[in-house]
Amino acid sequence: QSVLTQPRSVSGSPGQSVTISCTGTSSDVGGYNHVSWYQQHPGTAPKLIIYDVSRRPSGVPDRFSGSKSGNAASLTISGLRAEDEADYYCCSQADRSLVFGGGTKLTVL
């Protein structure tokens, strides 16, 4: 069982927006401004798409955005595209450790 809670799946049509939640506690998500998000396509290594709650690495489209409120973080993908279909994982700093969410499968209808 993962420490951070994510919905198992979400879906949306091309052009729409979807939001994936990541719920933790005051010991992880709520206690640090170090929440990151990863995108993973089948058979490939995860790719960092958001770090430090809302920052985007170079090359990541601004359709991807992150936020946090209390013990919950969110990833929003706007203007959905077929290539966004993938698994998404949140990750948070905790006390001298890191914890991941269980992952969310995004289906683009």
Partner 1 sequence: QVQLQESGPGLVKPSETLSLTCTVSGYSISSGYYWAWIRQPPGKGLEWIGSIHHSGSAYYNPSLRSRLTISVDTSKNQFALKLSSVTAADTAVYYCVRDLGGGNHDYWGQGTLVTVSS
Query: Is there binding between residue 98 and partner 1 (CB under 8 A)?
Result: yes
Sign of torsion, CA 95 64 17 84?
Answer: negative
- In the complex with partner 1, the residue whose CB is nearer, 48 or 109, is 48
Q: Is 42 exposed, middle or buried (0-12, 13-18, 19+ CB in 10 A)?
A: exposed
Query: Is there binding between residue 51 and partner 1 (CB under 8 A)?
Result: yes
Alpha-carbon distance of 23 to 13, in angstroms, equals 25
- In the complex with partner 1, the residue whose CB is nearer, 19 or 100, is 100
- What is the gyration radius of the CA atoms in the chain, in angstroms? 13
Strands 104-108 and 9-12 come out as parallel
| The one among 36, 39, 65, 74 contacting partner 1 by CB under 8 A | 36
Cα–Cα separations (whole angstroms), residue 73 to 39, 59, 107: 15, 22, 20
Query: Is there binding between residue 9 and partner 1 (CB under 8 A)?
Result: no
Query: Is there binding between residue 85 and partner 1 (CB under 8 A)?
Result: no
Q: Which stretch binds partner 1 (CB under 8 A): 16-24, 60-68, 69-77, 97-105?
A: 97-105
Residues that bind partner 1 (CB under 8 A): 2, 32, 34-36, 38, 45-48, 51-52, 57, 89, 91-93, 96-103
